[in-house]
Amino acid sequence: MEGVLKLQNTKTNLNIRDLIEEKKKSKSVGNLTEKFIPGFLFTIAVISILTTIGIMLTLLTETIMFFKEVPILDFFTGTNLKPLGAEATFGILPLLTGTIISTIIAMFVAIPIGLMTAIFLSEYASEKLRKTLKPLLEILAGIPTIVYGFFAFTFVTPLLRNFIPGLEPTNILSPGLVMGIMIIPMVASLSEDAMSSVPNSMREGAMALGATKLEVTWKVVVPAAISGILASFVLGISRAIGETMIVTIASGSSKNFTFDITQSMQTMTAYIVEVTGGEAPAGSTLYYSLYAVAMTLFVFTLVMNLIAQYISRKVREEY
- CATH number of the domain where residue 168 is located: 1.10.3720.10
Q: Are 144 and 203 contained in the same domain?
A: yes
Kindly report, residue by residue over 51-62, the tens digit of the pLDDT. Answer: 888 888 888 888
Domain count, the chain: 2
Per-residue confidence band for 27, with pLDDT thresholds at 50, 70 and 90 = low
Q: Say how far apart CA 241 and CA 270 lie, in whole Å.
A: 11
The mean pLDDT value for 41-64 works out to 86
Q: Is 264 left (phi over 0), alpha (psi -120 to 50) or beta?
A: beta
- At residue 109, the pLDDT reads 92
Q: How far apart are CA 264 and CA 269, in angstroms?
A: 15
Q: What phi, psi does 90 have (nearest 5°)?
A: -130, 75
Which residue, of 68, 99, 118, is where some domain finishes? Answer: 68
CA angle 92/94/99 to nearest 5° reads 95
- Inform me whether the pLDDT recorded for 1 exceeds 80: no
Same domain, 5 and 36: yes
Q: Which residue among 23, 51, 68 closes a domain? A: 68
Q: Are residues 223 and 283 in the same domain?
A: yes
| 45 and 167 inside one domain | no
In this structure, the answer to whether residues 116 and 245 fall within a common structural domain is yes
Per-residue pLDDT, 5 = 43
In DSSP terms, 82 is beta-bridged to 89
pTM: 0.81
Residues 40 and 155 in one domain: no
Residues 6+ apart with CB under 8 A from 96: 268, 296
Q: CA 303 to CA 309: how far, in whole Å?
A: 10
Q: What digits encode the pLDDT tens for the residues 116-148?
A: 999 988 888 888 888 888 888 878 778 888 899
Q: Which of 38, 68, 98 is the last residue of a domain?
A: 68
101 and 14 belong to one structural domain: no
CA 68 to chain centre: 33
Residues 56, 119, single domain; the answer is no
Range of the domain at 8: 1-68
Please tell me whether residues 101 and 53 are part of one structural domain: no
Mean pLDDT over 71-76 rounds to 86
One domain, residues 139 and 267 = yes
- Closest by CA to 194, choosing from 224, 237, 158, is 224
Same domain flag for 105 and 194: yes
Say whether pLDDT at 10 is over 70. Answer: no
Residues 59 and 82 in one domain: no
